[in-house]
Amino acid sequence: MRRFFMILKLDIINLFKNPVLVGANTIFFVLLILIMGFLGSGNYADSKMSYQYYLISMIVYGMLNGAMTASNCFMERDIKKANLRIIYSPAGSFPIYFSKILASFLFDYFLHIIVVGILCASLGVTIGVHPVYFILLMAPVEFAAAALGIFFCCVFHSEEAASALLSTLVSLLCVLGGTFFSLDGMGSAVAFLSRISPVKWINEAFFTLSCDNSLHSFLLVFLSAVIISVLLVLGCSLTFKTEDYL
């Protein structure tokens, strides 16, 4: 256990020392939310509603993009070489990938909460009367995204391949889930695809929490994300091979 926490601590330090990842999870999303909110303000009764809509939808997009943070932390070229020494040590293989999942989750979760906090305060928008539930619901979604990133690395054996596929998958699911714009008026086929996109469900859970102050979808999304996380961690344990690090 001591070894695991040593590895976890170092993984977190390495993530915070990576300016690209810190920027991508903070400044990038702040700018994205501000630009999208500003551009979409004409479609809402007041600009605050626009900013609120894009704060929530872009944070969901950011949480899912956490998969790329995890794949970077696990198999990025330079980090990977140093991580090889963990494989050489008596630490065992479980701490190697699980610490990366946990570190990426904590890193993304922490930064995204800060982004939400800063934007709520500065733009005067709200995430509903249940902010604790909102923050709580972010946790399993962030964790599942991190586990997905590591799982893709285990399956495809390379960060480049995993990140390229994840980026495409996340963007596609987010478009289908109506993260960037509503797909309601695009015909029945698109509406059907949108309904089966898991991102649609995640978006709805966060929107009902913050706009309707309802816990209606909270438990369903929370438990689904936990179950998916467990399955992905199991998938990692089945597919992780130390030789992928060579």
Partner 1 sequence: MAINMEEMIKVSNLTKSFKDKEVLKGISFDVYRGEVLCILGPNGAGKSTTINILTATLGKGGGEIFFKGGRINKKLKDYKQVLGIVPQDIALYEELSAEHNLRFFASLYGLHGKELSKAVDGALEFAGLTDRRNDKVKTFSGGMKRRLNIACAIAHHPELVIMDEPTVGIDPQSRNHILDSIRRLRENGITVIYTTHYMEEVEAISSRIIIMDHGSIIAEGTKEELKESIGNEKRYTIELEENKKVKEEELFSIEGVKSVKVNGDILEISSLKGIENLDRIIALLSDRGEKIRNIASEAASLEMVFLKLTGRKLRD
Summarize as ranges the residues that interact with partner 1 (CB under 8 A). Answer: 2-3, 6-7, 10, 13-14, 17-18, 78-79, 81-82, 84-92, 242-243, 245-246
Residue 175 one-letter amino acid = V
Tell me the three state secondary structure of residue 242.
helix
* Run of H or E including 204: helix 198-210
Q: Give the residue with the Cβ less far from partner 1, 18 or 214.
A: 18
CB of 85 to partner 1, least distance (A): 5
CB of 10 to partner 1, least distance (A): 5
Q: Give the residue with the Cβ less far from partner 1, 23 or 117.
A: 23
Q: Is 205 exposed, middle or buried (0-12, 13-18, 19+ CB in 10 A)?
A: buried
CB of 205 to partner 1, least distance (A): 37
**How big is the chain, counted in residues?**
246
CA 210/CA 25 separation, integer angstroms: 22
Percent helix, percent strand, percent coil in the chain, to nearest 5: 80, 0, 20
How many other CB atoms are found less than 10 A from the CB of residue 93?
A: 14
Q: Give the residue with the Cβ less far from partner 1, 94 or 192.
A: 94
CB of 25 to partner 1, least distance (A): 17
Q: Give the residue with the Cβ less far from partner 1, 89 or 237.
A: 89
Of 60, 16, 18, 67, the closest CA to residue 36 belongs to: 60
CB of 217 to partner 1, least distance (A): 41
Q: Give the residue with the Cβ less far from partner 1, 110 or 245.
A: 245
